[in-house]
């Protein structure tokens, strides 16, 4: 059970995740899909689902952990497991799609790795909290995971709304003044 100052962080995380989920729904419903057509539909769908999955996981863990007497490890293990399954299923879907090229897969590798790490740490923190519910280290780790999930969701949502790649390599290339081939083609 997370108590004390963690309660404040959990309440803030739950509020932020809920608000960001609402904004994501609005943004996806009103944003024109002009440039997004350069990516196969499966890639666009997985990127949108990644944002929703990250926000939903942060929301679920935070809300369940706010219930008095609830061990936050159980929702963390659940969301971590489902998050890992979602990530692997998304990768499988991209690999199976005839529209997806090696270039598309390469561009999504950082997202897949980031999600695997985030949901892996989610699962690991949850397991540690189940074994030792009063573990300060596990509680701290889980809170960092929640913050990370919100940031991942924001980055994916920004990418979707802005129709641009916000990854570190794409940003370095843009800062270096070398445009993206897909940008030039669009």
What is the tens place of the pLDDT at every residue in 110-169? 889 999 999 999 999 999 999 999 889 999 999 999 999 999 888 887 777 665 555 555
Domain positions in the chain are 5-185
What's the token pair of residue 180?
A: 């993206």
Q: In this predicted structure, what is the pLDDT of residue 109?
A: 85
Task: Enumerate residues 6+ apart whose C-beta is below 8 A from 36.
Answer: 44, 160, 163
Q: What is the largest CA-CA distance in the chain?
A: 56
Judge if pTM exceeds 0.75. Answer: yes
Instruction: Calculate helix-pair angle for 73-96, 41-66, nearest 10 degrees.
Output: 180
- Can you give the length of the chain in residues? 186
Looking at per-residue confidence, does 79 or 32 come out higher? 79
């Amino acid at each position: 059970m997370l108590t004390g100052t963690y309660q404040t962080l959990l309440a803030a995380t739950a509020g932020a995740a809920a608000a960001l989920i609402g904004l994501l729904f609005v943004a996806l419903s009103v944003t024109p899909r002009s440039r997004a057509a350069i990516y196969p539909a499966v890639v666009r769908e997985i990127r949108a689902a990644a944002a929703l999955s990250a926000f939903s996981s942060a929301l679920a863990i935070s809300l369940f952990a706010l219930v008095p007497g609830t061990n936050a490890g159980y929702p963390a293990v659940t969301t971590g497991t489902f998050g890992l399954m979602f990530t692997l299923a998304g990768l499988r879907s991209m690999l199976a799609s005839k529209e997806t090229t090696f270039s598309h897969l390469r561009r999504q590798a950082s997202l897949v790795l980031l999600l695997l790490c985030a949901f892996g740490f989610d699962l690991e923190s949850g397991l540690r909290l189940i074994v030792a519910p009063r573990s300060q280290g596990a509680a701290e780790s889980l809170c960092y995971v929640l913050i990370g999930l919100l940031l991942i969701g924001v980055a994916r949502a920004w990418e979707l709304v802005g129709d641009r790649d916000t990854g570190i390599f794409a940003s370095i290339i843009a800062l270096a003044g070398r445009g993206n081939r897909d940008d030039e083609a669009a």
